[in-house]
Amino acid sequence: MSAETVEKAIEKKPAEALLSKRRKKLVSDPLVDDNPITIQVLGICSALAVTTQMKPTLVMAISVIFVVVMSNLVISLMRNTIPSRVRIIVQLAVVATLVTLVSEVLRAFAYDMYKELSVFIGLIITNCIVMGRLEAFALGNKPYDSVLDGFGSALGYSWIILTVAFFRELLGSGSVFGLPIYDTISGLFGPDFKLATNGLMVSPVGAFVILGLIIWVQRTKTGYVEH
């Protein structure tokens, strides 16, 4: 990752394609090979807490994508003016402002979601993925690359929490996006047939189990070993 922090000499070439191979890698790397949750094990707190249902998880994912992309953009634009001694505070101020904006917008336009996610929107500020990308990438790279990098990382985070939420909602509440899957299935087999939901999946413990399984499956496939 240290190679990323140094601005690359590529800029001297005429003009890099809008989606060159290197830029595609910025987005695709964090999806699997360098996933913030399963490989870097960052942002676990919210991954455990908001994933009981798909809908709030989707809102959370969108919020995180917005915050990471925008903060990467802003910090990258300011990277040459930010005094290095106070850079962490500057990053924090920018991130906190963006998160507050998200929370205010949700409160005005999606009050139910605002109530449900409540404190976890605010906690995006402390999500290590956000600050991690700012420190490791946005401070030393051009705006467009930073946006791609942030988008990739946030997307990597999003698909994992959505997968966790899918299994937790299906197994714990018997539904997906609020659609009663279990009831529909049991309806096919007559009134006496009933699929039992698993209460464990509704509690945070369920998220640990699902997340553990995802990490296990992924690491078996990619052969990743922690050093």
**Nearest distance from C-beta of residue 93 to other proteins, angstroms:** 6
Dihedral sign of CA atoms 107, 112, 114, 118 in order: positive
Would you say 40 or 203 has its CB closer to other proteins?
A: 203
Residue with tokens 């930010």: 82
User: Identity (one letter) of the amino acid at 158?
Assistant: S
Would you say 69 or 95 has its CB closer to other proteins?
A: 95
Ramachandran assignment for 141, one of left (phi > 0), alpha (psi -120 to 50 degrees), beta (any other): beta
Beta bridge partners of 176: 179
**Nearest distance from C-beta of residue 100 to other proteins, angstroms:** 6
Cα–Cα nearest to 7, from 132, 150, 143, 156: 143
Would you say 27 or 66 has its CB closer to other proteins?
A: 66
User: Identity (one letter) of the amino acid at 197?
Assistant: T
Binding site for other proteins (CB under 8 A): 52, 81-86, 89-90, 93-94, 97, 100-101, 104-105, 107-109, 111-112, 114-115, 199, 202-204
Ramachandran assignment for 193, one of left (phi > 0), alpha (psi -120 to 50 degrees), beta (any other): beta
Query: Structure tokens of 169?
Result: 């909602």
**Nearest distance from C-beta of residue 43 to other proteins, angstroms:** 19
Structural contact between residues 145 and 26, judged by C-beta atoms closer than 8 angstroms: yes
Would you say 40 or 198 has its CB closer to other proteins?
A: 198
**Nearest distance from C-beta of residue 202 to other proteins, angstroms:** 4
Would you say 23 or 87 has its CB closer to other proteins?
A: 87
**Nearest distance from C-beta of residue 143 to other proteins, angstroms:** 18
